[in-house]
Structure 1
């Protein structure tokens, strides 16, 4: 079954306190996004990169500057992440296959998890990467709060991997505020979510502190 990866990179540098969009910040001497794409460059996975229109030419310039030659198809993003993923899905002509949808600023995703996500999605229709909570958790409501069992919750990561025909069908709806990730769109179509174990190192870089942590993992 043919495999695809949609890498979504539409972030800005606001929370990174940078004028440069975070996916282009340097990590170990190269843009973060290049590390992320490299992680999916195996086992014949066809890579689709979704970028805002105004960032596409800059990305091409970076690819030349850093001699980045990994084959990938560049697709223009939309106004929201939902629309960007939908554009990526619509660019795939195949009706059947598997597709992993991944944040462009999660450069430390392990290939073993990617492989497992494809295997599990082929069997279960989807595979959503997640990790257990380490800290205590409290629910805040109407000015009060209460302790809740952290074992009843999971932190959701990417990749979120799906059978191609099922996720395409799920995205054939208008955007809703409850669509916080691709799994929520898939669940809205009436399908059950299949969770798989992720990795605490699979950090989404959104703040300067996140970048420091990721850099420390690479050095280590």
Structure 2
């Protein structure tokens, strides 16, 4: 089965408080995005990556991918106004029946093992969405204040969200809806059942300065 990963890396870095977009920030001695690319390239030797970047940063992306283990398996395209439109732009480059992973470029600590598990589950069930359980107490805001929520029923959603290409491409032919917060919500609107699998606690999203410190610690422990 053909395999493609659409890696969306269009963030501006506003929450990081930096002028450099977070996907290009240094993590140990390499950019955040480098680790993401490496994980996918290591997961399967026949997987191809479509890297979606802001137009102003295509040159930076080119420099990063040249340092990966197989830059010839990475293509680049320009992002859109929203995540939905960026993913749609990436999907336009996929013309074969395949499994497609859609991943946040700043979730740089995912492992090749998670990617392989997503693939195996998507092959069997049509899609695979990694998730982890909530560990904090959860409350939901209401008109009257707030109410507790059973955290055992809460799942925190991650990427790579993985689908058969036919399903995913058909879903992204829909008109944009502000309720589309991830690929699963887009596909689900077609009436497709979403299948959750166990994610990884270390599969964090780099959004704030403290996340860089956490990521550095995780990488240090992995290198021991």
Q: TM-score by structure 1 length?
A: 0.95
CA RMSD of the aligned region, Å?
Answer: 1.3
Structure 2 counterparts to residues 166-177 of structure 1, below 5 A: 166-177=167-178
Aligned residue in 2 for 1:151: 152
CA contact (8 A) 1:12 1:22 kept: yes
Aligned residue in 2 for 1:85: 87
In 2, distance between residues paired with 1:62 and 1:194?
33
- 5+ residue gaps, structure 1, are none
Aligned residue in 2 for 1:56: 58
What secondary structure sits across from 2:157 in the alignment?
Answer: strand
- 5+ residue gaps, structure 2, are none
Residue by residue over 1:182-213, the C-alpha shift from the partner in whole angstroms, topping out at 9 and shown as x without a partner, is 00001011100000000110000000011110
In 1, distance between residues paired with 2:111 and 2:130?
12
CA contact (8 A) 2:16 2:209 kept: yes
In 2, distance between residues paired with 1:9 and 1:154?
24
Residue by residue over 1:17-43, the C-alpha shift from the partner in whole angstroms, topping out at 9 and shown as x without a partner, is 100000000011111101100000032
Q: TM-score by structure 2 length?
A: 0.94
CA contact (8 A) 2:34 2:68 kept: no
Q: Does 1:19 align with 2:29?
A: no
Task: Number of aligned residue pairs: give it.
Answer: 218
Measure how far apart 1:59 and its partner are.
2.1
In 2, distance between residues paired with 1:45 and 1:146?
45
CA contact (8 A) 1:38 1:70 kept: no
Aligned residue in 2 for 1:35: 35
In 1, distance between residues paired with 2:126 and 2:65?
34
